[in-house]
Structure 1
Amino acid sequence: MSKLDAFIQQAVTATPISGTSLIASLYGDALLQRGGEVWLGSVAALLEGLGFGERFVRTALFRLNKEEWLDVVRIGRRSFYRLSDKGLRLTRRAEHKIYRANAPEWDGTWLLLLSEGLEKNVLADVKKQLLWQGFGALAPSLLASPSQKLADVQSLLHEAGVAENVICFEAHSPLALSRAALRSRVEECWHLTEQNEMYESFISLFRPILPLLRDCDPAELTPERSFQIQLLLIHFYRRVVLKDPLLPEELLPAHWAGQTARQLCINIYQRVSPGALAFVSEKGESSVGELPAPGPLYYQRFGGLPGA
């Protein structure tokens, strides 16, 4: 067994992998910018080398369809799964967080949201969506974010049907004042200690692959191995970064591992992306034939990919 195969096997067995989560990673990374639709048999062919069989694939696709994250089109005996409107919307939001190259700049402005008159279950659902977008809970009905744009948040509130029940404020926090107290409050409200531990686990898992990629014979880094490394990389990184509120550097604690994890992900992704792209082209098939070539946004990931 090659060292690359040994690493891939170790990553697959490092922690239990959910079928729905892995295939969501596949669609977001490999298919979103290539039409967002693929034959069931293609998904099985892409994942077969990682040890995931057709039953694993069928079950995961069925669940994603039931959750209205994927739509299915049947042509003869073949089933083609494509991102639904809901799946496309959520995947695009995730794409922005996953593939950014740099930390956001900050001018000290906070966006505050105060909810009024929402039923308990509606409030819980909206709050869950906003926390996923990077808001922190300062109080049960008061959420804050130093990085979210008002227009983006208003769009989300309108989609949820609660725009009339959420009051939006903008406030400014001079960094020269109460810096220690502010960082302490931020660390508590955004659970940054737990987030940092997740980043450190990601770094421990994927740091060993960099010297292997640098030193291996080019022929050893086949398109299939490239794809497997890239999918696992994004799958594990996605699980961490989507929980990250992406706070400005001024608010982060000392020894924050997020930047190190992002740079590690970028370095690996840029090395394997050409081969991974070729493997998806080889195995992928949509309802109209070959998958389309990736759009320009694909090559803008992480600040620029080979082939851009």
Structure 2
Amino acid sequence: MTDHSTPGPRNPPPHPNPGRPTFRLPPGACDAHCHVFGPAARFPYSPQRSYEPTDAPAAQLRALHALLGVERAVLVQASVHGHDNRAMLDAIAQSPGNYRGVAMVPASISDAGLQALHGGGVRALRFNFVRRLGGAPDLDAVRSLAQRVHALGWHLVLHFDPQDLPVYRPFLDALPLPYVIDHMGRVLAQNGLQQAPFEALLALMRDPRCWVKLSGAERTSQLLSRAAGLPFADAVPFARRLIEAAPERVLWGTDWPHPSVREMPDDGKLVDLLPLFSDDAAVLQQLLVDNPGRLYWPD
């Protein structure tokens, strides 16, 4: 693992004035991938963080969701907080019926520690394989934790560099529980629909344990917001193909407050991409309401 004891570049704050989307989200819509950062005065950042975050607390996230029409959310533990899940758990406690969490934990966590996270609304563990965030975790530790949380009805959330998707296929095939791949596998639109990482992702989706988040359009896209038409629209064909592959196993999220992006997106514009992902209202209902409900609120 890379030592990031000296923080990297500062992550800019979220968009200062996001627009209200034209597309109206259905009742019960879920942002299945968002974060809270700090505030650092209450929840200090990890000294091993790979970038310097700007505070983006729970109250700011709730205000954004009210603007967008989001009613439920899945808070994903941010790498800048490392294994200290307190900021996420505090945000869940403020909206316990509508928020769920995805934690990051050390391999040494006790069963009581996992049970406490479950009681706090956590339903999954996240592992970063992205090289700039420290690289691959210990696979034996991941396998051991996967076995333990499987008994709790949890799943794994996995963050890969696109070129590594084919590399980890044997590891994924051997997992005993469902797993979710973040941000459309971080594939790049400029490399086309036939690129090997995207074909590997579509092949993984033939496995009923594999879910994919249709988040990170601003990462997939090569178009900046000043381009003509709707920003990041070149990510749409990738989202459409993933929906076609397994409409019952796709999720959507904003990725607010958008760590380490080349341009800070307007979240209202990200919502307005959704009707381009599918022109079938029933499919969008699956994506935004039914699928996250099955995975994070089965009870």
> Per the shorter chain, which TM-score range?
under 0.3
More helix by share: 1
Return the TM-score normalized by structure 2: 0.26
Q: Please, what TM-score do these two structures have when normalized by structure 1?
A: 0.26
Question: Comparing both chains, which one has the higher relative contact order based on Cα–Cα distances under 8 Å and sequence gaps of 6 or more?
Answer: 1
- Larger of the two Rg values belongs to structure: 1
